[in-house]
């Protein structure tokens, strides 16, 4: 068992080392893009790598698109948290006062291409999007998402709700969903 654990640990160490060396500059660039301060960007990257290390099991292939997106999602979110802390103001989550219809399941989806999906998801803010992606693309529980992003589980639940609501409205508005049952 100890040998197995050691082996697993060695393989994790190699994986992490690869991830760190390969992507640290990209991560720094992303963090700097949010924070516009090199020292703070380093703080964000350092914190993000710790969170990535704790979620290393989510990264099967460090070179896959999915893994890179996962890492950048974490670093962008960490940067936003630092930005909030630094500017001492709560991040605004733009929520329009619209009734929550939540009736996508009652629609028929058509003609939603990858480009459209990309564009639609890019219209919601990073904090909502990251929770949404960690939930649906990486199949993480609310607790795992909370730990990965450094927010409470309640906050995860609220953000997820808002993200789904936003997307539902957006899809209906853009006409990607049509026809009710």
Output the CA angle 72-77-82, nearest 5 degrees.
125
Rounded Cα distance between 141 and 157, Å, is 10
Name which of 24 and 37 has its Cβ closer to another protein. 24
Rounded Cα distance between 101 and 83, Å, is 33
| Least distance in angstroms from the C-beta of 13 to another protein | 8
| Least distance in angstroms from the C-beta of 18 to another protein | 13
Helix (H) or strand (E) holding 151: none
Q: Which of 13, 16, 14, 122 is nearest to 76 (CA)?
A: 122
| Least distance in angstroms from the C-beta of 88 to another protein | 14
Name which of 54 and 86 has its Cβ closer to another protein. 54
Name which of 73 and 77 has its Cβ closer to another protein. 73
Name which of 86 and 108 has its Cβ closer to another protein. 108
Rounded Cα distance between 120 and 109, Å, is 14
Residue appearing with tokens 């060695």: 10
Name which of 32 and 86 has its Cβ closer to another protein. 32
| Least distance in angstroms from the C-beta of 113 to another protein | 9
| Least distance in angstroms from the C-beta of 105 to another protein | 4
Is the four-CA dihedral 51, 52, 56, 57 of positive or negative sign? positive
* Phi, psi (degrees; rounded to nearest 5) at 174: -80, -5
């Amino acid at each position: 068992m100890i040998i197995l654990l050691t082996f697993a640990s060695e393989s994790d160490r190699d994986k992490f080392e690869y991830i760190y060396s390969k992507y640290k500059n990209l991560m720094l660039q992303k963090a700097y893009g949010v924070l516009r301060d090199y020292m703070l960007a380093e703080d964000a990257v350092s914190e993000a790598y710790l969170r990535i290390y704790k979620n290393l099991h989510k990264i099967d292939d460090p070179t896959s698109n999915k893994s890179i997106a996962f890492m950048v999602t974490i670093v962008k979110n960490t940067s936003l948290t630092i930005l909030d802390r630094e500017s001492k103001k709560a991040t605004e989550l733009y929520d329009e006062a619209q009734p929550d219809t939540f009736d996508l399941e009652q629609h028929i989806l058509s003609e939603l291409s990858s480009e459209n999906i990309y564009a639609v998801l890019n219209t919601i803010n990073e904090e909502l999007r990251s929770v949404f992606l960690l939930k649906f693309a990486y199949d993480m529980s609310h607790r795992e998402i909370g730990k990965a992003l450094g927010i409470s589980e309640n906050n995860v639940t609220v953000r997820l709700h808002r993200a789904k609501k936003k997307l539902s409205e957006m899809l209906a508005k853009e006409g990607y969903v049509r026809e009710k049952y």
